Amino acid sequence: MGKPLTEICVLDDGCGFGAGVEYLRSQGLDAVGVDVGWRSRDWAQREPSWPYLRADGRALPFANGSFDAVVSFGVIEHVGIAGESGVSEEVAPDYEERRARYVSEALRVLRSPGVAVLSQPNGSCPVDFWHYAGRVPARWHSPRQPFLPRFRELARWAEEADRGVRVDAVSPHSLLAFERIRAWRYGRLFSGVMRTWFALLRLPPLRFLARSPLNPFLVVLLRRPPIR
For 115, phi and psi rounded to 5 degrees? Answer: -140, 135
| CATH number for the domain harbouring residue 85 | 3.40.50
Q: Look at residue 134 and tell me if it is in a domain.
A: yes
Q: Is residue 47 part of a domain?
A: no
On whether residue 20 sits in a domain, the answer given is: no
**Residue 49 in this model has a pLDDT that exceeds 70:** no
Total-model pTM: 0.93
Instruction: Flag whether 43 is in a domain.
Output: no
User: What separation, in Å, do the N-terminal and C-terminal C-alpha atoms of the chain show?
Assistant: 15
d(C-alpha 132, C-alpha 141), whole Å: 11
Per the DSSP assignment, residues forming a β-bridge with 116 are 70, 222
* Residue 10 lies inside a defined structural domain of this protein: no
State pLDDT tens for residues 123-154: 999 999 888 887 778 889 999 999 999 999 99
Helix (H, G, I), strand (E, B) or coil at 187: helix
Q: Does any domain span residue 50? A: no
pLDDT for 146-165, tens place per residue?
A: 999 999 999 999 999 999 99
Quick check: is 207 in a domain?
Answer: yes
pLDDT over threshold 70, residue 86: no
Query: Which domain range does residue 218 map to?
Result: 56-224
Instruction: Please give the tally of structural domains in the chain.
Output: 1
| Residues ≥6 apart with Cβ < 8 Å to 134 | none
Task: Give the residue-averaged pLDDT of 3-15.
Answer: 92
The predicted pLDDT at position 87 comes to 61
CA angle 7, 74, 201 (to 5 degrees): 85
Contacts of 79 (CB under 8 A, 6+ apart): 57, 58, 95, 98, 99, 102
User: Is 178 contained in some domain?
Assistant: yes
- If one counts every other C-beta atom within 10 angstroms of the C-beta of residue 76, the result is 26
